[in-house]
Amino acid sequence: MQELSHRRKSKQRGLIFEIVRSLKSHPTADEVYEIARLTMPAVSLGTVYRNLRLLADSGDIHEVQFETGPARFDGMTEEHEHFICTKCGAMRDISPTPAMKYAAATHPDLIGHSINGYKLSFNGICSECNKNHS
Ligand SMILES: [Zn+2]
Ligand SMILES: [Zn+2]
């Protein structure tokens, strides 16, 4: 279980952290706000934004930003990649394989550069959408 790195944990920040950690859906700030309100009706959207920002800055959660759509928040801080469904927007975690790392390290366009990491995302139609289609 991961512990919050903040010495001064606010109750609100703790709850927001728990929400992001427990969801696998990579929620947006608005989605976190909707869930946080169920437990803390007094919480404001601004507070949720501010705490998400603090948690992301300290590395307790990750912010994932793609070309389109609002920023999403990821409770999984271990190294991983994403698959995004272009139909329903679902974002699934992909555990990195040695082949992916090898490809990044040996790509001809990267020769001469020092590679410290890479970001990769797969786009397509998720299994749920595939099921509903057929
Ligand atoms: Zn889908
Ligand atoms: Zn993720």
- If you measure from the C-alpha of residue 128 to the centroid of ligand 2, how many angstroms do you get, rounded to a whole number? 18
Please say if the pLDDT value at position 74 is more than 90: yes
CA-based Rg of the chain, rounded to a whole angstrom?
17
Please say if the pLDDT value at position 1 is more than 50: no
Q: Name all domains of the chain by residue range, CATH numbers in brackets.
A: 11-74 (1.10.10.10), 81-133 (3.30.1490.190)
Q: Where is pLDDT greater, at 49 or 4?
A: 49
* Stated pTM of the model: 0.78
- If you measure from the C-alpha of residue 77 to the centroid of ligand 1, how many angstroms do you get, rounded to a whole number? 23
Distance from C-alpha of 78 to C-alpha of 61, rounded to nearest angstrom: 10
Residues 53-68: pLDDT tens digits? 999 999 999 999 877 7
Give the number of the ligand closest to the Cα of residue 90.
1
Residues 87-134: pLDDT tens digits? 998 999 999 888 888 888 889 999 888 888 888 889 999 999 999 866
Q: Which amino acid is at 50?
A: R
What mean pLDDT value characterizes the chain?
Answer: 89
Q: Where is pLDDT greater, at 16 or 104?
A: 16
Length of the chain measured in residues = 134
- If you measure from the C-alpha of residue 83 to the centroid of ligand 2, how many angstroms do you get, rounded to a whole number? 9
- If you measure from the C-alpha of residue 90 to the centroid of ligand 1, how many angstroms do you get, rounded to a whole number? 6
Give the number of the ligand closest to the Cα of residue 74.
2
- If you measure from the C-alpha of residue 130 to the centroid of ligand 1, how many angstroms do you get, rounded to a whole number? 7
Half-sphere exposure at residue 35, Cβ-oriented, CA atoms within 13 angstroms: 15
- If you measure from the C-alpha of residue 24 to the centroid of ligand 1, how many angstroms do you get, rounded to a whole number? 14
